[in-house]
Amino acid sequence: MVRQKTILKALAGETQDVPPIWMMRQAGRYLPEYRATRAEAGDFLSLCYNSDLATEVTLQPIRRYGFDAAILFADILLLPQALGADLWFVTGEGPRLSTISDQAGLDALKPTPDIHETLSPIYQTVRNLSGALPSETTLIGFAGAPWTVATYMIAGRGTPDQGPAHALKDENRTVFEGLLARLTEATIEYLSAQIDAGAEVVKLFDSWAGSLKGSDFDRYATGPARQIIEALKARHPDTPVIAFPREAGDKYVGFHQATGADCVALDNSVSPGWAVANVQKDGCVQGNLASSHMVTGGEALAQETRAIVKAFGNGPHIFNLGHGITPDADPDNVQRMIDVVRGG
């Protein structure tokens, strides 16, 4: 009998003495070995589409820290590119895309089955990783949730308040909802192909869910997540799904049932005590240490890590940060966090 992987146990609802741990953006600029491989690739997108180098950077944090999960190295904005949007990254600023604002722009997107042509190197990375990871390490695939991806496609860049996407929603609901429907359909195919290639778990990142309020949240965050998870479960009933409706606040309550997610990932704006009573009662949760501790370290890092492990310790829990680790983080602080979680 092969012992089941710790991440899969947590996702099956098991409470463990030591929670499994991985970290959002664990392959990233805070690691010197990542910066070296990225320099070799030339730029960020070339790194994403080079299966050998993307495999290498995915493995780097596993080698250095022995995390319980590896997350495929790619980006949520590759899907819009596969649908026909122009995409480039401005150094020091972030992503830029061609924008969609009307029916003609929506109609110009490529048909869903065509996405696999652009995304085939990503599936190759997943296949490489399936063969290369240690037997105890779980491979996580991912995609952006339709709302979050749409905010970038509408604005053409990252925005602090998702203003352009909210404006299109209010001014031309048909185009806005049409775009979300196209993204929902394409995300199902993209994640399904990652699972076929060997992803053992998939995660849906709704990084900007928090700016959807009231019934908008239900329609544009919960609704698409439910549709995607339903379709994935019909095809891949044994593959767990993690949903991350970041900054959902009160809307975290009931998100497991409303979407069918096996695990709900928590940002660090919710307190562990509240989340235990209101969210973990429904199933596995992931999170939620503030990523700033990876910069500042010290006794506060150890104390806060211990408090999170303790608070979530009576139910299924995957230890993680509340958002991605930042480039200014100290790699030694990551080791310290892991040592505390594992009881060192």
Q: Which residues of the chain form contacts with ligand 1CP (CB under 6 A)?
A: 24-29, 38, 44, 71, 73, 75-77, 94-95, 142, 144, 158, 205, 207, 324
End-to-end Cα distance, the chain: 29
Tell me whether residue 95 or residue 315 sits nearer to ligand 1CP (CB atom): 95
Q: Which of 30, 34, 123, 152 is catalytic?
A: 152
Name the residue nearer to ligand 1CP (CB basis): 11 or 69: 69
- Shortest Cβ 207–ligand 1CP spacing (Å): 3
Structure tokens at 300: 């506060």
The residues, any chain, with a CB within 8 Å of residue 63's CB and separated by 6 or more, are none
Q: Is 25 a catalytic residue?
A: yes
Catalytic, out of 3, 30, 35, 38: 38
Q: What share of the chain is helix, strand, coil (3-state, %, to 5)?
A: 55, 15, 35
Contact 146, 187 (CB under 8 A): yes
77 or 129, CB closer to ligand 1CP? 77
Q: Are 70 and 130 within 8 A, CB to CB? A: no
3 state DSSP class of 205: strand
Residue 148 in tokens: 């979050």
In the set 29, 127, 157, 219, the catalytic residue is: 29
> Is 152 noted as a catalytic residue in this protein?
yes
Give the nearest distance from C-beta 112 to ligand 1CP in angstroms.
21
State in angstroms the smallest separation of the CB of 87 from ligand 1CP.
10
Given the complex with ligand 1CP, which of 203 and 226 has the nearer CB atom?
203
* Residue nearest to ligand 1CP according to CB distances in the complex: 158
The verdict on whether 49 is a catalytic residue reads no
Smallest separation, CB 244 to ligand 1CP (Å)? 8
Minimum distance from residue 91 beta carbon to ligand 1CP (Å): 7
Question: Which CB, 83 or 311, lies closer to ligand 1CP?
Answer: 83
Task: Give the relative orientation of helices 331-341 and 298-311 as an angle to the nearest 10 degrees.
Answer: 40
Residue 28 or residue 315: which is nearer to ligand 1CP going by CB?
Answer: 28
The one-letter code for the residue type at 8 is L
* Residue given tokens 């700033």 in the structure block: 292
CA 70 from chain centre, in angstroms, equals 12
Contact 252, 276 (CB under 8 A): no
Residue 92 CB, shortest distance to ligand 1CP, in Å, is 9
Known active-site residue 220: no
Return the closest-CA partner of residue 83 out of 126, 117, 51.
Answer: 117
- Taking the C-alpha atoms of residue 342 and residue 156, their distance in angstroms, rounded to an integer, is 42
102 forms beta bridges with: none
Annotate 275-326 with DSSP letters as a single string: HHHHTGGGSEEEEEE-TTHHHH-HHHHHHHHHHHHHHTTTS-EEEEESSPPP
- Which residues have a catalytic role annotated? 25, 29, 38, 75, 152
